[in-house]
Structures are given as structure tokens and as C-alpha cells.
Structure 1
Amino acid sequence: MTGILVLALYVGAFFGSYLILSRLLQRYFAREGFNKLKTVTFGDESAVKANRIASFLSVITVFFLWVAFTNSAIPLPKLPGPFDGDVTFTYTATLPDGATDDAEVTIRVFREDIQQTLDEDGNPGREPPAPEVEPGDGFAKNDSLTVARYGFKVIPVWNNDDVSKSDGSKITHLNGQPVEPGQKITIAEGTIGLTDKGTPTFEPKTGLRMARLYLPAPEVVLERFIRLNQEGYQGFTLWEHTRYSLQRVLLGFLFGALIGIPIGYAMGLTNWSRGWFDPIVEFMRPVPPLALIPLMIIWFGIGELSKVILLFLAALWIMIIAARSGVSGVAISKVHAAYSLGASKWQILSRVIVPNSLPEIFTGARVAMGVCWGTVVAAELVAAEVGLGKMIVVASKFQLTDIVLVGIILIGIIGFLIDVGVRALENWLVPWKGRV
């Protein structure tokens, strides 16, 4: 219930602050501009501008949720966390003749990432020792052991008992409750139960936070980001991984645009070009770039060329369709007006068709760039030695989730900055978009 309240608090704060700030900004800080001159704004995409306050709040909310669902040291509200500390429960061993004896099991639950930390001497951390307990009287002896948070432990209670499983000893009760093999009992600190063969087990309470293996805390990812820049990974620094991936994406996109845009114009302007290229484009467009990886290896080997060509093909068909759509979307009345004023075909192409098709081309460029970034991870699987995709894949094999997150966040940030750059270039080159 506490976790639901915290989550509801975050969601409520997000939407509440958004509504309040949006009202205040609209009333007191609205900027006069072209949008204010529009008489119809609902349904007109050009009249919709992103509210940067809302964007900021959105990012902050995601960060708060990231902290809330992890075991972060950042002092922000968090969802209920996993149990750590000492827990004790009793088990009852029963012999074939009906004799019974109770014994206690004391378990120390420690942080699951403690073995990944370094001590003062630079050595890997070690899990804490098991609690010291007296064996007690009777044929069932007290036990102690350790288990990591989010872990699971099968407890071999017969190792120090005076009787063994082969003597007919069975566990019949846990914390005084009768239990059968395969059953579990919930306690405040976690879950105790018996395996199908009757051996006691313990699983600590996990709460609603995620283990470091699945979602590291923000400060852990930041620490890994700094270390990757200083020490590198797989023989390359983070900057080198980023540079190679960015270089491949930009080269693939650039060649795709240089070849795709003229073909798209030709398809939109001439019957022969439309008939020649249309079957090829419509056949290749649904084929995912990942399906072409085997052909890239066979045809171009495992070097840089195969990766760039794969990204080129990922962008090519998108840019062809964007340019063709841009030409098809030019209002015929504008072409007629240009002809009536005596314009030549070249003037119509350069003064009417190209300017009016640029918005579609820029939209296609943004889509193509996103597809290229999504494909680069697979492209770098083709025997690459360096690249963000390669770094992510190798780190995932060793369950280094913090490195995986660093790569994903970096790809997202770079992709976002590229998209912002393309939009800024569009606003500069196509200031008439949505106005004519």
C-alpha cells in the first residue's frame, strides 16, 4: 500500500504541476508570435509548440521514478525496499517413531552488490560472516547462514543434525505451522517453505525496488560512465565507442539521403522512373535491415564496409519514400501558377517542387536517423570490435547492466541531439512550413 501511495504521489505531482504551470504560463507569460495570428489552432500541427516546462517536468518525473524503483542513495522518496538484516525462524524435525525436536535457523541477509564493491586495499568485497549461534540441545541443531538480497537459499539443516534425511528425519513444521513439501509460508522478512523433496528454503522479501542486476541506481550508472571514460571497456574508451558508432550512422544516413532523395524526386516526377523503381522500393521497404546482415557478411565481409552499407540500406528506402511523398504533396495550383507566369521546368523544380517537398524530406530524415541508430546495435554485432552496440551486447553477456544503461542513455541523448539539430535546420531552411 505504501508503494502505491508513493507512485500515486509522483503521478499526481507530475500532472498537477503540469496543469498549474501551463495555466500560469498561458495567462502571464504567453509570447506573441505567428501562432497568435492563427484563427484556427485545434488540428493545425504548426500551431502546436512544445511546452518546455512540461518537458522538464517529464524528465524529472522519469528520474524520480528511477530513484524510487532502485536502492539509490539519493535522498528522495522510494518504494518499499528489500529486507536486509538478520531473520530467525524455527523448523520442526520429526523422526519415524514420532519423536520431534525444534531448532532455529538464523539467516543474515546482505546487500547483493557487496561483492562487487572494493575494500580499502582494492580487493573485491566479501559477504559478511554468518551469525554465531549455539547448536542447542536435542537431535535438531540450530543453523546459521547468509543470503543476498533478492536471492534464494536452500537450507541443508541435516548437515549438523544428529539425524539425517536417510534416517527418516522430515521437516513437518515451520514456525509452528504444519507444512508439506512444495508449500510456502509468508513471514514479515520473506518467504519460508519446503522444496519438493522436503528441504527448507528461504527467500528474502524484495519489496517493490529492483535489484541492481535489473536496474542499477542513477549514481551507479554515473560512476560507471566516469570509469568508462577513464578506463574504457574491451580496450576502447567510451568516447571511442561513441565515435565509431556515430561515424557509421552518419555515413550510412548521408549516403542513403544522397541517393534516396534524387530517386524519390524522379519517382514523383516521371512515369518511367516510377515504373522502374516502384517494384524495387516496395519490395525492399518492408524488409527489416537486420534480415540483410547475412548478405552483408557474404558480400562485403566483416569490416566497416558491411556495417555502413547496412545502415545505408536502412536509410535509403525511407528517404526515397519521403522525397516521393514530398513531390506528390505539392499543390497542383502552385505548379499551374508558376507555368502561367512563364516558369521553365527547372524553375518549377527549384522554386516550387523542392521548397514544398522539403518538410516531408526532413520528416523522413528524422525517421531514417532513428532507424539507423536502432540498426547500429545489430550492425555492430557483425564481428565489430568497437562501438556502442558492441559494448552493450558484450556487457549484457556478463550481466553488467550499468554499462548497458550507459550505452542506451548515450544513444538516446545523441539521437535526441541529432533530432533537435535536424529540426533546427528545418526551421532555418524551411521557415514557411505550415504557413503556406
Structure 2
Amino acid sequence: MIILLIYVAIFVVTFFVVKFVAQQAAKTDYTSLKTVTFGDESTVTPNRIASVVSVLTIFLLWGSFTGSKWVPGFLHAPGPFTGVAEFTYTAEADGQTDDALVRVLVHPVGEEATDPEVEPGDGFAKNDAATVGAWRSGLIRVDQNDELGRDAGHTVVAVNGQPIAPGQSVETDFGRVGMSPKGTLNFEPAKGWQMEPIWLPPPEAVMARLIDISKDGYRDSTLWEHLGYSLFRVIVGFFFGALIGIPLGYAMGLSDWFRGWFDPIVEFMRPVPPLALIPLVIIWAGIGETGKIILLFLAALWIMAIAARAGVSGVNITKVHAAYSLGASKFQIMRHVIVPNSLPEIFTGARVAMGVCWGTVVAAELVAAEKGAGMMIMVASKFQLTDIVLMGIILIGVIGFGIDILMRKVESILVPWKGRS
């Protein structure tokens, strides 16, 4: 929630700052002004400054809340407490009360540590020492070294002078001291705002893992083989989905019989997530490559069919009438009017379908896959290798984004009339 609020705040502040700077520049640069119509899609293009700031904001938030070395220290969110923590407890036993000190060494996770030194002290309650990892918690049996133990009715009644009972806790300067139902103290150091590496590793850890896997591979295959297999499956599944879906969409858009026949099927299958089809695909096609490609084919098929149908249905009827008035045949109308005017919708559907296929490839590679980015992610998640999981997600996103940019370029070349009447 804190990260989301910071992100929203940066978005709002940046928006107003950039708009203010643009307005100041426009006051002196009259040649940059042009008249536009509100709602004109052709005038809305990505603001490059906003794109750069957006990416930098995400990176800075990631680095700040993971304590990254790539982000200046003054931008780091408060981290977990590490060092020596101390608190006192009041013990009651055999009608007597006594205070003792507990000294806890809070060390980074993964590092070995020994209990800090502490003098036993006077009285029946003796001072204690323990170690706890950052982001962790640990039980502290303070009664084990006290002269009057549980056989004498030993109970802890206060921490730092504040009363405590089973199920309650006391906040200290170093963290929270709670009491279990059996009366044992539990120390939980302050966690701060930073994420534990097992949940979200810093950027440099992900980059280091990427370099290692690029050199040494992962599970007997190189990184490029994993990415290549995923890309191959996505492209083949998308190709066959478009090969069947586009003609089906054209048929539904041009014939009331085809539309009546296939519309219930398409509209029924469209909201069904591809993940729900995995058991059925396994039964039908097994766990080999065929099953994975079929799943991706089904993910793209209905999207391409709907996009082609929408493209045909959206053709301006006046253009059809004009072509008829000029003596065009049905084939010529199809070739020169319907297909060109439906291509923008089809390319939009293709971009959506490709994104869905990339999102489905992870699920497709869940089943007995030996290679693939999705396989890397799933295997790494079983061993809590979050850096590999995050690396795979980033690579899938980068490749998907690259494919989308490529499809936009192809669309701008093949359909230069998009957005024009």
C-alpha cells in the first residue's frame, strides 16, 4: 500500500510538472502549436517523458524497497533492524520478583552468528543472550538459566516495565516482544519497510542471476534455448490461431448463417481462460509439444475470430455502396474495401492475442516441459529462487514488448491508412 501511494504521488507530481513546463515552452514557441479536436485518436501519442519517468519510478521504487546498491542510500526505505537489541523482563517465582536483561544479536539472514556476551547478574532471574535473523523471530526461554524455574512457578509478568500476559505483546525500540500461550517470550525485530530478498530481491541480484544463467545455463539448457522454445511455441500457436480465426471471423462478418452458427461457440469460448483448458488438452493431446501448442492455439483463436468479425462489421457501408456504384464485383469489394478496412482491427486483435499467448505460455510449460521460460519460472518457484522467477518474468515481458513494437511497425507499414476516414 505504501509503495502504491508513493507511485501515485510521483505520477501526479510529474504530470503537473511536465504540463507546466510544456505550457511555459508553448508560450514562446508558437510553431509547435496546432489545432486538435478533443477525442481525435490520431492526436494522442505516448508522451516520451512520461514513459521514461514511469520506468525510472518503477526501478527506483524497486531499488528503494529492496536496499539496492544501485540506488543512492538516501533513497532507501527504512530497512530491518540489525545489531544488538536489549530489553528487560520481570520474572515472578515462589512469591518473588526480579528483573533481568535480554541481549539479542539480530544478524542478516544467511550469516552465522553467536550469542552476544552478557554477565549473569544478581538475583534469581539471570541475564540472557540469543541470536535472531533479520525479518525473523525467535523464542527466548528466559527461565532456563534462572535459579527459580518453572517448577517454582516462574512466570514473566512484564517487559521493559510494561505488564505482559500470554497472547499479548510489548513494543520496544528494537522490535516487538510477544508472549506465547505457554508463557515463552518471542522476539520479533523491527522489519522496516524493505522487502526480504526471498520475496523481492534487489535489481543487482536479478542481473547477477541473468549473467550466471546466460553463461552456465539452467537445468542442462542455455538461457537462449529456454527463451527460444517459448518463443517457438507462442509463434506456432498464434500462427495457427490466426490462420483459422481470421477466415472464421470474416465468414461470421459476411454471412448471417455463419454468424448464427459460430457465434454461440465463439462467445462461449471467449471468456473461458486458457488455464481452464489444460486438463482437457492433456487428455486429448498428451503432455508433449502438441498439447502446449494446442493450448496456445486456443488462446489466440477466439481473439482473432472476434477481431476479424469486428473489422468486417465496422466497414463503412458508404464505401461498399460507392464501390458497387463504380461497378465493382464482390471479389473486388472484398479485395479493395473489406480487407483493407478490417486490417486495423485484425492487427489490434493480433497484438492482444500475442499478449495472451505470452501470458499462457507459462501455464502451457507447466506440464512436463524440459525447456522454456515458463519451466524456469515454475521450477525456480518450487525452490524459492525468487531472483530466477523475477528474471524470467522480466525476460518474458521484454520479449513480449519487443514483439508488440515489431507488430506496430508492421502495422504502420501495411496499414498506413489506419485512423483515416
**TM-score, normalised on structure 2?**
0.93
More displaced 10-residue stretch of structure 1: 399-408 or 135-144: 135-144
Equivalence for 2:19: 19
Q: SS of the counterpart of 2:170? A: strand
Change (3 A) 1:69 1:316: same
Does 2:286 correspond to 1:301? yes
Superposition pairs of residues 384-399 of structure 1, within 5 angstroms: 384-399=369-384
Contact 1:92–1:100, Cα closer than 8 Å, also in 2? yes
Q: SS of the counterpart of 1:381? A: coil
Equivalence for 1:257: 242
For these two proteins, the number of residue pairs brought into alignment is 418
Q: SS of the counterpart of 1:215? A: coil
Equivalence for 2:305: 320
**Structure 1 residue 312, shift from structure 2 partner:** 0.2
Equivalence for 1:178: 163
Structure 1 unmatched ranges of 5 or more: 116-125
- Residue by residue, what CA displacement relative to the aligned partner does 1:323-359 show, whole Å, maximum 9, x if unpaired? 0110000011101111111111111111100000001
Q: Distance in 1 between matches of 2:406 and 2:4?
A: 40
Q: SS of the counterpart of 2:302? A: helix
- Residue by residue, what CA displacement relative to the aligned partner does 1:182-228 show, whole Å, maximum 9, x if unpaired? 11111121111211211111111111111112111111111111112
Superposition pairs of residues 22-421 of structure 1, within 5 angstroms: 22-23=22-23, 36=34, 40-76=36-72, 77-95=75-93, 97-112=94-109, 115=110, 126-421=111-406
**Structure 1 residue 176, shift from structure 2 partner:** 1.9
Does 2:402 correspond to 1:422? no
Contact 2:87–2:103, Cα closer than 8 Å, also in 1? yes
Contact 1:14–1:58, Cα closer than 8 Å, also in 2? no
Change (3 A) 1:8 1:258: closer
**Structure 1 residue 25, shift from structure 2 partner:** 6.5
In structure 2, give the amino acid aligned to 1:86. V
- Residue by residue, what CA displacement relative to the aligned partner does 1:151-183 show, whole Å, maximum 9, x if unpaired? 111111122222322331111111122211111
Q: Distance in 1 between matches of 2:228 and 2:19?
A: 41
Change (3 A) 1:153 1:430: same
**Structure 1 residue 237, shift from structure 2 partner:** 2.6
RMSD: 2.3
Q: Distance in 1 between matches of 2:5 and 2:344?
A: 45
Q: Distance in 1 between matches of 2:408 and 2:30?
A: 23
**TM-score, normalised on structure 1?**
0.90
Change (3 A) 1:399 1:280: same
More displaced 10-residue stretch of structure 1: 339-348 or 326-335: 339-348
Change (3 A) 1:149 1:30: farther
Q: Distance in 2 between matches of 1:3 and 1:129?
A: 35
In structure 1, give the amino acid aligned to 2:309. R
**Structure 1 residue 231, shift from structure 2 partner:** 2.4
Contact 1:292–1:310, Cα closer than 8 Å, also in 2? yes
Contact 1:290–1:375, Cα closer than 8 Å, also in 2? yes
- Residue by residue, what CA displacement relative to the aligned partner does 1:376-401 show, whole Å, maximum 9, x if unpaired? 11111112122111211121122211
Structure 2 unmatched ranges of 5 or more: none
**Structure 1 residue 66, shift from structure 2 partner:** 1.0
**Structure 1 residue 22, shift from structure 2 partner:** 4.0
Contact 1:174–1:193, Cα closer than 8 Å, also in 2? no
**Structure 1 residue 6, shift from structure 2 partner:** 7.6
Q: Distance in 1 between matches of 2:51 and 2:219?
A: 36
Q: SS of the counterpart of 1:107? A: strand
Change (3 A) 1:134 1:242: same
In structure 2, give the amino acid aligned to 1:90. T
In structure 2, give the amino acid aligned to 1:348. I
Contact 2:62–2:203, Cα closer than 8 Å, also in 1? yes
In structure 2, give the amino acid aligned to 1:19. K
In structure 1, give the amino acid aligned to 2:37. T
Change (3 A) 1:8 1:384: closer
Q: SS of the counterpart of 2:143? A: helix
Contact 1:186–1:192, Cα closer than 8 Å, also in 2? yes
Q: Distance in 2 between matches of 1:3 and 1:320?
A: 40
Q: Distance in 1 between matches of 2:336 and 2:56?
A: 45
Q: SS of the counterpart of 1:158? A: coil
Q: Distance in 2 between matches of 1:255 and 1:4?
A: 40
Q: Distance in 2 between matches of 1:127 and 1:26?
A: 61
Q: SS of the counterpart of 2:45? A: coil
Equivalence for 1:432: 417
Aligned residues with identical type, % of pairs: 61
